[in-house]
Amino acid sequence: MTGLRTLYVRAHLFAIKSELFSGLVNVEELHLRGCQIQTIKDFAFTNLSQLRHMDLTWNKISAITTNTFFGLQNLESLIIENNPLRHFEASSFAHFPSLRVLHLEDLRFSNSEHSGMQVLNLSLIFGGFPHQLSDLTITSAVRPMTLVVADDSAPEVGLSLSLSGQNIVLWGCEKRFLKSVTKLQVTAEFFLCAPDNTVAISHFTSVVNLFFSQWYTSTIQDLSGLSRLVHLKRLELTYIDFYNQPGFNVMFNGLTQLESLSLYNCLVNSFDRVISVDMKSLKYLYLHISSETTVYKQFFEPLNSLRSVVLFEPRLLCNCENSWFISWAKQESQVGVFPLSKQHRTLQCLNGNRLQDLDRYGLAHCRPEEGFELFISTTGLLVIFIVAVLVYRLHSNTRGHYRYDVFVSHSGENESWVVERLLPSLEQRGPPFMHLCLSRKEFQLGKDIVENITDSLYRSCRTLCLVSRHYLQSNRCSLEMRLGTYRLQVEHRDVLILVFLEKIPSNLLSAHHRLARLVKTRTYIDWPQDPAQQEAFWDILWSKLVTEKVL
């Protein structure tokens, strides 16, 4: 088998020994996903000297030793995702001079000394960072994590670094390693430098693309250091409470190269010129603000390069400071504005305790000559946009070719259930084996949220909605279900499946009219709390999802 170049293994191996791959000296790609591997013997891959890519996702590997990957001097990509990684010896990844991509998910060190903190010394396991390293991902799921950079080695400038954990502490923020990062993606309640507990983001001074998701937390991080990232071109902030940011007014000062700004589910009191004064290069602006807010006209005055503005389900206050937006959206033809709301297709504002159309408010209190025209134009624009997307997506899949079997619509609070229960129960069950589409992995960062959702929906054979209380409170989940039901109505086939992860009171369910109608007309599945019934649940769900795949 010396001519074999790519090898996919679908078997329960449990342990890998050196003789397993003897004779496969020319293999360049080795895929060992879901093989139940628990241990890898030292020097097990010595015969695979030509190997360039290895995928060990969905196994049970807990320890990596100094000689686990010995002999793989040509390896460029190593993926170890969804493994209970508990121990790394020194120089575990020191044998890869050509390494470009390394994914480590997810750290589960049990170290009482650090109160459950996952401590990983990057300098120790690499023995000096590979010069060509361009993609490094490290996650600890919902556990806290500490990373240590102890030496001054660094990859070439251009590294993409992705970190995820409950909270993340970084030692060595003054090292060259941070200067090599040009794309940074962080998901954590806080991300700090030790020992002084300063915000770590501001130390990545070469970063061009930054994606930071904090989730709402009582821990306040002063993000005013963002203004030091003068090379930023794309900035995406998610679940940030700007109410309590002491430096919000100067946070974006100095970002003269910024071209794309996205704020997802953030809390912002108002937008004024003092925020946007240096954003002369900004072309794309996406605002999904979870709080009542005011957008002053002066905010847009410095934005001379602006091409596209998206306000997703805006919660504008009913006042004349906001009513200017009607005429601005009408007159600025180079700017596309797409207001979306759950029950209406016009801009909404909050007047006391009730919602009111902003165009009607402006008609009555501020600029009456412009209100009705905006109502007609925005409604027509939204209808045309949705119809065009549905027709195009339906036409593109008329032959039934799908990249994924299922698009999973779920809230962020149910992420651990999806990763720890749903994925292994569906993707490792077969044949046939399923391929699931998750927003956190498949959504393209910086891309319009509506386009991301529609792409995922129509690249998937079916949509699985995991309904919970958090799901009902999520604007993004509401949009995913809405677009999923549109597809259901257009295609007239069983493309939408509901799973209730918890009991939803009838009064709460009735407030969500679209879901309430679906429950009355379609069969749904309840997640059983009794462990004895859960295996039957997976059998039912899998058979429901796999029917069309088999056909």
Nearest to 258 by CA among 276, 238, 271: 276
| pLDDT value for 22 | 82
For 397-550, give the CATH class. Answer: alpha beta
Residue 364's pLDDT band (cuts 50, 70, 90): confident
Domain 1-105, CATH: 3.80.10.10
Give residue limits of the domains in the chain. 1-105, 397-550
Is the model's pLDDT at 480 over the cut of 60?
yes
Instruction: Give the burial string for 500-539 (b: 16+ CB within 10 Å, else e).
Output: bbeebeeeeeeebeebeebbeeeeeeebeeeeeeeeebee
Q: What is the pLDDT of residues 485-497, one digit of tens each?
A: 888 777 777 788 9
Assign 371 a pLDDT band (cuts: 50, 70, 90).
very low
The residue-averaged pLDDT of 335-354 equals 61
* pLDDT over threshold 80, residue 138: yes
Q: What is the predicted pLDDT for the residue at 286?
A: 92
> Averaged over 114-128, what is the pLDDT?
82
| 8 A C-beta contact, residue 199 and residue 169 | no
Mean pLDDT of 503-527: 76
Average of pLDDT values for 395-412? 74
User: Model confidence over 251-291: pLDDT tens digits?
Assistant: 999 999 999 999 999 999 889 898 999 999 999 999 988 88
What's the mean pLDDT when you consider all of the chain? 84
Backbone torsions φ then ψ of 392, nearest 5 degrees: -65, -45
pLDDT beyond 50 at 551: no
φ and ψ at residue 519, rounded to 5 degrees: -65, -35
Contacts of 61 (CB under 8 A, 6+ apart): 37, 38, 39, 40, 80, 83, 84, 85
Which spans in 82-182 are helix H?
122-126, 176-179
pLDDT of residue 413: 87
Global pTM value: 0.65
Given a cut of 60, whether residue 333 has pLDDT beyond it is no
pLDDT category at 61 given cuts 50, 70, 90 is: very high
Q: What pLDDT is stored for residue 467 in this prediction?
A: 93
Q: pLDDT category, 392, cuts 50, 70, 90? A: low
pLDDT classification of 21: cutoffs 50, 70, 90:
confident
Comparing 237 with 523, which gets the higher pLDDT? Answer: 237
Residues 6+ apart with CB under 8 A from 145: 107, 117, 118, 119, 120, 138, 163, 165, 166, 167, 168, 169
Task: Indicate whether 513 pLDDT > 70.
Answer: no
- Give the pLDDT of residue 235: 98
Of the pLDDT bands very low, low, confident and very high (cuts 50, 70, 90), residue 373 is very low
**Mean pLDDT calculated for residue range 364-369:** 59
Structure tokens at 153: 């080695």
Euclidean distance between CA atoms 41 and 33, whole angstroms: 18
Q: How confident is the model at residue 401 (pLDDT cuts 50, 70, 90)?
A: low
Q: Which two tokens stand for residue 407?
A: 């698009």
pLDDT at residue 1 tops 70 = no
Average pLDDT over residues 208-224: 83
Look at residue 380 and tell me whether its pLDDT is greater than 60: no
pLDDT of residue 252: 94
pLDDT at 117 exceeding the cut of 80: no
| The pLDDT of residue 517 is above 90 | no
